[in-house]
Amino acid sequence: MCIFCGERNEAFNEEGIDLHYWKECPMLKRCQHCKQVVEIANLTAHLLTECEKREEFGKCNRCGEAISKTDLDAHVKAKTCNGTKSLTFSLFGHSTSKLLLLLVVCLQIEYKLQVFSIENSLFT
Ligand SMILES: [Zn+2]
Ligand SMILES: [Zn+2]
Ligand SMILES: [Zn+2]
């Protein structure tokens, strides 16, 4: 069983699980900068603290995202990020990995909204 996404699969022996971590697991992502596999939720922390390329990243004080130092100035000046880490449209300006992250966040929000409306309909 994958400890990150909880998927169970017959093929998850030592080799199979590595392959899953590497390619399939929705909770993990290969850092584009050092090729390490990191949890999507920890990607920002990874870029800022562990990544081989951490020197090249800075943290935006407003949204808390790790932004490459070449983009950071523009990012801060653009004021497109609004401080709520989850819905930063500034993400569109960055890499596809961030787009993926945004997608995951959107799905989570949609899920929460569904749960919310189900709860609401129970009480009305
Ligand atoms: Zn997994
Ligand atoms: Zn890295
Ligand atoms: Zn920001």
Q: What's the pLDDT tens digit per position in 55-79?
A: 999 999 888 999 999 999 999 898 8
Can you say whether the dihedral through the CA atoms of 15, 21, 22, 23 is positive or negative? positive
Task: Using alpha carbons only, give the angle 62, 68, 98 rounded to the nearest 5 degrees.
Answer: 75
Burial 89-98 (b: 16+ CB within 10 A, else e): ebbeebeebb
Task: Using alpha carbons only, give the angle 69, 74, 77 rounded to the nearest 5 degrees.
Answer: 125
- pTM: predicted TM-score of the whole model, two decimal places: 0.59
CA of 29 to the centre of ligand 3 (A): 21
Per-residue confidence at 109, pLDDT binned at 50, 70, 90? confident
Q: Is the pLDDT of residue 54 over 90?
A: yes
For the chain, what percentages of helix, strand and coil (3-state, to nearest 5) are there?
Answer: 55, 10, 35
Q: What tokens appear for 123 in the block?
A: 């009480």
What is the domain partition of the chain in residue ranges? 1-30, 42-81, 84-124
Q: What is the per-residue pLDDT for 81?
A: 83
Q: What tokens appear for 22 in the block?
A: 């590497």
Q: Give the ligand with the smallest distance to the CA of 83.
A: 3
Taking every pair of C-alpha atoms in the chain, what is the biggest distance, in angstroms? 54
CA of 69 to the centre of ligand 3 (A): 12
Q: Is the pLDDT of residue 118 over 90?
A: no
Q: Give the ligand with the smallest distance to the CA of 91.
A: 3
